[in-house]
């Protein structure tokens, strides 16, 4: 199974895009931590480039990512557009990115007219334009832009549930890429905190004194007990 790393774009002195109450670095950190946690719950190896709001120079960021097989670099776009887009390296086939966009579309989230693309340096058509694609070695790095902070969906992006829905689409795509079963958040299992518990009753008494004596006997034998009063 692949080792994934979640990169919360920007951070620290680099706030990224901002508009009308949204600062990109805050949401990218949220996205990376959320996806990282969910992947671990689903049995997929994952880590993060940063766990808090710290400055992370490009070379340090990419040196961390190089240690992993696959990377998601989480971002929120700017420029007044609308919709989600993903960017992959010119050396990748784009199949995983298609899985991502398919999941967003199925969930009803807006996507760009050309939601999957690559870009090269103007001076060298054999090198990626974006440093996260260019400088992360053999790691398959996908840049995800979760819509535009200054677009018409600004208000929706402020809704945490809306954002978490975006992240879940990405998680579904990762599960398909890893051939792992996807399970929705907070799904109850036999071992969860919401398991059924069974109460053991040792007797019922009309006389309170008899009930008190029974509790004393049980406690002497090491059984914690209490009196539950009820009326027919």
163-207 per-position pLDDT tens digit: 999 999 999 999 999 999 999 998 654 444 445 555 666 777 777
What is the mean predicted confidence (pLDDT) over 9-33? 97
Residue ranges of domains in the chain:
4-178, 198-232
98-127 per-position pLDDT tens digit: 999 999 999 999 999 999 999 999 999 999
Give exposure, 34-56, as e/b (b: 16+ Cβ within 10 Å): bbbebbeebebebbbbbeeeeeb
Pairing of strands 22-23, 18-19: antiparallel
CATH code for the structural domain at 4-178? 3.40.630.40
Tell me the pLDDT of the chain averaged across its residues: 91
Q: Give the tokens for residue 100.
A: 């991502």
Give 66's contacts (C-beta < 8 A, 6+ positions apart): 136, 137, 138, 139
HSE value, Cβ hemisphere, 13 Å, CA-based, for 229 = 3
Give the integer Cα–Cα distance in Å for 5 and 3: 7
Q: How far is residue 140 from each of residues 63, 76, 81, 207, measured CA to CA in Å?
A: 14, 20, 27, 73
Residue 217: pLDDT over 70: yes
Q: What is the pLDDT of residue 232?
A: 54
């Amino acid at each position: 199974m692949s080792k994934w790393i979640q990169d919360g774009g920007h951070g620290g002195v680099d706030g990224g895009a901002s508009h009308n109450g949204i600062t990109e670095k805050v949401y990218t950190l949220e996205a990376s931590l959320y996806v990282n946690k969910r992947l671990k719950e689903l049995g997929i190896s994952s880590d993060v480039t940063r766990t808090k709001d710290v400055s992370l120079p490009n070379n340090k960021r990419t040196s961390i990512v190089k240690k992993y097989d696959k990377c998601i670099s989480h971002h929120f776009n700017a420029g007044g557009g609308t919709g989600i887009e993903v960017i992959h390296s010119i050396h990748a086939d784009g199949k995983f990115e298609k899985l991502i966009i398919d999941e967003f579309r199925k969930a009803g989230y807006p996507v760009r007219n050309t939601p999957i693309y690559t870009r090269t340096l103007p001076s060298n058509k054999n090198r990626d334009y974006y440093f996260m694609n260019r400088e992360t070695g053999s790691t398959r790095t996908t840049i995800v832009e979760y819509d535009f902070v200054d677009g018409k969906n600004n208000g929706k992006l402020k809704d945490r549930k809306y954002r978490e829905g975006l992240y879940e689409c990405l998680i579904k795509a990762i599960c398909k890429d890893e051939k792992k079963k996807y399970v929705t958040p907070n799904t109850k299992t036999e071992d969860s905190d919401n398991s059924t518990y069974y109460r053991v009753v040792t007797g019922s008494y009309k006389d309170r004194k008899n009930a008190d004596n029974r509790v004393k006997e049980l406690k002497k034998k090491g059984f914690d007990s209490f009196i539950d009063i009820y009326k027919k």
